[in-house]
Amino acid sequence: MKMSKMHVHTLREVPNEAEIPSHILLLRAGMIRKLVSGVYGFMPMGNRILKKIQEIIREEMDAKGGQEILMSALQPAELWQESGRWNVYGPELFRLKDRNDRSFCLGPTHEEIFTDIIRNEVNSYRQLPINLYQIQTKYRDEARPRFGLMRSREFIMKDSYSFDQDQEGLDRSYEDMYHAYENIFTRCGLVFRAVEADSGAIGGTNTHEFTAISEHGESEIAYCGNCDFAATTERAECIDEIGGEAEVLEMEMVETPGCKTILQVADFLGVSTKQTMKALLYKADGKFVAVFIRGDRELNETKLVNALNIPEHALEFADESEMGPITKCVAGYTGPLGLEKCMILVDSELVTMKNLVAGANKENYHIKNLNFKRDFDGDIITDLKLMKEGDACPNCGTPVKMNRGIEVGQVFKLGTKYSESMKAYFKDENMQEKPIVMGCYGIGVTRTMAAIVEQHHDENGIIWPIAVAPYHVIITLVNINDDTQKELADSIYNELNKMRVEVVLDDRDERPGVKFKDADLLGIPIRITVGKKAVEGIVEFNERSKGEKIELKTEEAISMSVEIISNGKSK
């Protein structure tokens, strides 16, 4: 491709709307264009990258026996009503009506559609297992679209669904997909971790998220440097610190004037914040709930929702003015003693702690030397903490580390959730009718593109890994009016094209500086500069990921390009 003919419009300045590197650089490089908030289009260069990523995904999915299909984005409400999600999914689902007032939605995910296809076409165990996938546009009406491709309302996703006879089959399918995902993200050049995750709204029992490490990621993960433990913080099970052998003291009410926060109380009484417990007040499905955890801890709302077995949106902060009169709690001084008409949850860590300090449910008073069972109890006692840096790894006890990351893929074991609600059954070899056991597996294709840029850029622009680069080589023709240079550049261009190298020739009537800046911004991995030394058949060879420029004979530059590209592809 000749640059003079290509539709690429780069920007010199940072667009006002963009904040993080992937968003800024993709816009500046003219690879994406925004239509409205959270909706982007892909320009020629950007589209090529998307296709590269998709090709990698296809190869790895096919290698595991996946079969590609393509389903509609427009979905009838009936299927969602059948699965029960029409009423559960909430405002994130784009809903619309046709001219006859029938309800539809734009698919945010495709469990219903795939289950529907399979139940109509699969009757026998002989037809299983099946693994179907598609690469298709998804719609989610995000509360807050953000960071360009990172969280958008329209995005491209690879979603696949496995259908097995039994749990064992599902385990195999899951394992296959897990390995496929490792291959895919590795080939895309991402540094990532597969972490245990919470199963969230889609439902299911077992799930891993593939998280590309990035400071601009929206999820937080905890991992162990010593063993293979890695989990999202919302999922990570915490090891309780043991309270020690201190002598159990008599309970005592003490005046703590104006001490509303844990820090103030601990300070005032001269104890560690670890010696205190705090109350968090919620309304769960309309009922009041008090949660007690150690004063220095943070509550993990995902664990709370799971412990209460309620949908996530049914949990809200309690209004203290409303709650106070009913449960007898006092804002800033809430403790476990004397609470009424209120469910009490206690974090398991408090069980072994000795002589705790808590609010007295009386203005300006706290209670010292509270001990679990002797003085207070809970309706539910379980792990409700948010893991923090330095906590013990649940597998081996080593202090854990934390990272932020971008969730680029997720694998789920769905089990029979959808096959039962939607009646997707098969007959086994004993003529027994059984629900198909399902798994689902997603990759955010457009988000992966953003994640790659987050991990591969410098102050001058993007640095595409060979495997996903829109082109592999850019020939920078320094002076288009110099016939020697022009002829040499043309011949290299033709030669590389003949060898099926994806090459772009920058033959624009621009000054060299402009061409260099654009080449850097666009992130083409290899640059061959044809300048004054063209008369001697010498060109300059430069890898985008490295700084140095070397002078090479034309043939050497070509063969080195080919070598670097084939190395890059096989990685």
Residues at the interface with RNA (CB under 7 A): 10-17, 19, 28, 34, 36-38, 92, 109, 140, 142-147, 151-152, 155, 157, 200-202, 209, 218, 301, 312-313, 315, 407, 410, 442, 444, 447, 460, 478-482, 509-514, 516-521, 529-533, 540, 542, 549
Q: Which is nearer to RNA, 323 or 408 (CB)?
A: 408
Residue 429 or 548 having the CB closest to RNA: 548
Looking at the Cβ atoms of 180 and 266, the one nearer to RNA is 180
Nearer to RNA, 435 or 442 (CB): 442
Q: Minimum distance from CB of 202 to RNA (Å)?
A: 6
Instruction: Kindly state the smallest distance separating residue 190's Cβ from RNA, in Å.
Output: 16
Using an 8 Å Cβ cutoff, are 357 and 276 in contact?
A: yes
Q: DSSP 3-state helix, strand, coil percentages of the chain (rounded to 5)?
A: 30, 30, 40
Strand partners, 474: 504, 527
The least distance separating RNA from the CB of residue 302, rounded to whole angstroms, comes to 8
Distance of CA 398 to the CA centre of its chain: 25
Q: How far is the CB of 140 from RNA (least distance, A)?
A: 6
DSSP string of 266-326? HHHHT--GGGBEEEEEEEETTEEEEEEEETT--B-HHHHHHHHT--GGGEEE--HHHHHHH
Q: Check if the beta carbon of residue 494 is closer than 8 Å to that of residue 77.
A: no
Closest alpha carbon to 57 in 168, 146, 188: 188
Cβ atoms within 10 Å of 287's Cβ, excluding its own? 14
**For RNA, the closer CB: 14 or 248:** 14
CB 560 within 8 A of CB 550: no
The set of residues, in sequence order, having a beta carbon less than 8 Å from that of 485 and lying 6+ positions away, is 477, 478, 479, 530, 531, 532, 534
Minimum CB–partner distance for residue 195 and RNA (Å): 12
Residue placing its CB nearer to RNA in the complex, 99 or 144: 144
**Six-digit token pair at 245?**
């052998």
User: Rounded to whole angstroms, how far apart are CA atoms 292 and 382?
Assistant: 11
- Closest-CA residue to 25 (of 142, 145, 149, 146): 149
Taking the least distance from each CB to RNA, the nearer of 28 and 294 is 28
CA distances from 417 to 127, 198, 424 (A): 20, 16, 10
> Residue 262: how many CB atoms within 10 A of its CB?
17
Closer CB to RNA, 132 or 386, in the complex: 386
Shortest CB 417 distance to RNA, Å:
14
How big is the chain, counted in residues? 571
Decide whether 74 or 317 has the Cβ nearer to RNA: 317
C-alpha to C-alpha distance for 415 and 166, rounded to whole angstroms = 9
- Residue 206, CA atoms < 13 Å, CB-side half-sphere: 12
Closer residue to RNA (CB): 359 or 442: 442
Chain Cα centroid distance, residue 123: 36
Whole-number minimum distance, CB 14 to RNA, in Å? 6
Cα torsion through 261, 262, 264, 270, rounded to 10: 160
CB of 551 to RNA, least distance (A): 8
- 65 neighbors 176 (Cβ within 8 angstroms): yes
Q: To the nearest whole angstrom, how small is the minimum distance from the Cβ of residue 123 to RNA?
A: 31
Q: Which is nearer to RNA, 12 or 99 (CB)?
A: 12
Tell me whether residue 282 or residue 426 sits nearer to RNA (CB atom).
Answer: 282
Give the shortest CB-282-to-RNA separation in angstroms.
10
* Closer by beta carbon to RNA, 60 or else 518: 518
State the nearest-atom distance from the C-beta of 332 to RNA, in Å.
20
- Find out whether 28 and 11 touch, Cβ atoms under 8 Å: yes
* Pairing status of strand 130-139 against strand 67-68: parallel
CB of 43 to RNA, least distance (A): 13
Provide the minimum distance between the beta carbon of 24 and RNA in the complex, in angstroms, as a whole number. 11
The answer to whether 225 and 423 have CB atoms below 8 angstroms apart is no
